[in-house]
Structure formats: C-alpha cells, structure tokens
C-alpha cells in the first residue's frame, strides 16, 4: 500500500473480487505502519531539511530503504511458503513492487504497478497544495483533519463514495494504529530511493501499469514513463480515478488485474 496507508485501505469488495476469481489475496501493513513493527528507536530527519539537502545533491540516509521494504515482502512470502506471486502495489507500494520484480524475477509471476512512478528525473511532481498538506497538519488541524484533507485533494469525486467516507476511513486508520513518525520515515525512504529508471529495464515479468487520469499527486506522465521503461509493459489509464481507489472503479480494476494475472500464467 501507499505512504502511511494501512492494509485496510484496500477495499474489501475489491479483495473479494480477486479472491472470487480464484486468487489467494495477501495484504499486509508495511513496516512502521498499522500493526506491523514500529521502529520507535529509529531516527527521523526533518523533512524540510531532507528535501533541501536532496535538492542540492546531498545523499540522504534514511532509517531504512524501499529495498528493505521489498525484502520485507519477500520474507513474508518465505514465511507463508510462497515461492512466487503476482505482485500488486499502489503508489509507494508500486515502487516497492517494482524493486521486487527487478531484483527477484524468479519470485514475480507478474507485476501490477498502480498510480506509481519510476522516479526518473524530469517527471512532474505533486501539486503544491498537496505537497504542503503531506508535510503534516497545519495549525489547528488534528491528524484526522489533515488526513481527510489529503484524501479530498487526491481523490476522484466518485458519486459511489458514501458521504463522510473520508472521515470514517481516517478515523478507522487512526484508531487502528497511528504512527506519524513512521510515515515520515517511509517518506524519507521514498526520497532516498530516488530514480528506479535504471532498474526497471531488468524487469522480465509481465507488467501492467495502471494510472488515474486525474492523479494530482503522481501525475500521469509518471505512470507512462514507468511502462515505457519495462519491456512489453501495458499501460491502462482510468478516466474516473485520481490518486485513490474509487468505489465505482473497483470492479474494473479487479478485472484488469485478474485478466493480467491469467495472461501471465
């Protein structure tokens, strides 16, 4: 799942559709988030300072890397006795999935990278308002208020989404496990990983890249660039989708993924 998002961000109906198609669906909390281990003793660098340092070419030293998080996934597969799997990742999870596919081809039956990026230089970044919101709650806002604002800024106005759905989700996530320093450490891992452009050509697994046409956080060119760097990759653009999983698009998304997995064998 994406930056700071827990496994409950995967819609239950979407998981049910995948399982109904005959797939064993395994979702989990990344390190430092949800009910996975929180690295409370790991340092957290000031994000503004880290971004400024990276802008002038200084090397970041995060508490852990996206490669470490990819290895977490492989370790979970080992623990579950899974030799190879269809790897699906959203946003930051897409970055992690790309690393798995590039470095562990024998364990990747197929790759689906959703609303993610290659991280290549020159690609467009988030809209300024979203970037500011991601830095944390503004004065007077609670963590839940901040999360609701992020969801409102990054999501497609789907009529199938229930009124109050963003706040309900933000509250459920907060109640389940709230670790803001973990989110900061994950963001630093993303920044430090930088570009995967030189790693993506190593991917040999059948690859599907899905992107929302209205994504303001990771714009469409980022998804197109990802697909262009992977031999044989297919790019799918979903019009009624931004940087979110809109309820009305979940059946379509599930069909895209199951069809891709079936084609991969």
91: CATH: 3.40.50.1820
Q: What is the pLDDT of residue 139?
A: 63
Residues 6+ apart with CB under 8 A from 128: none
What's the total number of domains in the chain? 1
Q: What is the pLDDT of residue 124?
A: 95
Residues 6+ apart with CB under 8 A from 184: 44, 45, 47
* 82 falls within a domain: yes
Query: How far is 40 from 58, CA to CA, in rounded Å?
Result: 25
Q: Helices (DSSP H) in 135-211: which residue ranges? A: 143-154, 165-176, 180-193
Helix axis angle, 12-20 relative to 250-264, nearest 10°? 30
Query: How far is 243 from 43, CA to CA, in rounded Å?
Result: 29
Q: What is the pLDDT of residue 128?
A: 82
Q: How confident is the model at residue 138 (pLDDT cuts 50, 70, 90)?
A: low
Q: What is the mean pLDDT of the chain?
A: 93
* 104 falls within a domain: yes
* 122 falls within a domain: yes
* 60 falls within a domain: yes
* 158 falls within a domain: yes
* 2 falls within a domain: no
* 223 falls within a domain: yes
Q: Which domain holds residue 192?
A: 7-264
């Amino acid at each position: 799942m994406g930056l700071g998002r827990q496994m409950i961000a995967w819609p239950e109906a979407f998981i049910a559709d995948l399982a109904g198609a005959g797939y064993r669906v395994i979702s989990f909390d990344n390190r430092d988030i949800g009910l996975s281990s929180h690295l409370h003793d790991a340092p957290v660098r000031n994000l503004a300072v880290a971004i400024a340092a990276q802008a002038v070419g200084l090397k970041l030293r995060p508490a852990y890397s996206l490669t470490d998080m990819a290895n977490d996934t492989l370790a979970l597969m080992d623990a579950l006795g899974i030799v190879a799997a269809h790897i699906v990742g959203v946003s930051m999870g897409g970055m992690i999935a790309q690393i798995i596919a590039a470095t562990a081809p024998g364990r990747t039956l197929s790759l689906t990278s959703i609303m993610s990026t290659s991280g290549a230089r020159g690609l467009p970044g988030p809209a300024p308002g979203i970037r500011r919101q991601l830095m944390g709650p503004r004065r007077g806002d609670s963590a839940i208020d901040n999360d609701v604002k992020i969801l409102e800024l990054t999501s497609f106005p789907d009529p199938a989404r229930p009124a109050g759905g963003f706040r309900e989700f933000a509250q459920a996530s907060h109640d389940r496990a709230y670790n803001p320093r973990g989110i900061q450490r994950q963001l630093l891992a993303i920044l430090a990983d930088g570009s995967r452009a030189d790693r993506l050509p190593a991917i040999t697994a059948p690859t599907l890249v899905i992107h929302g046409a209205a994504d303001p956080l990771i714009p469409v060119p980022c998804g197109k660039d990802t697909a262009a760097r992977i031999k044989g990759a297919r790019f799918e653009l979903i019009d009624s989708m931004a940087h979110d999983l809109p309820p009305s698009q979940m059946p379509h998304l599930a069909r895209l993924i199951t069809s891709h997995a079936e084609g991969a064998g």
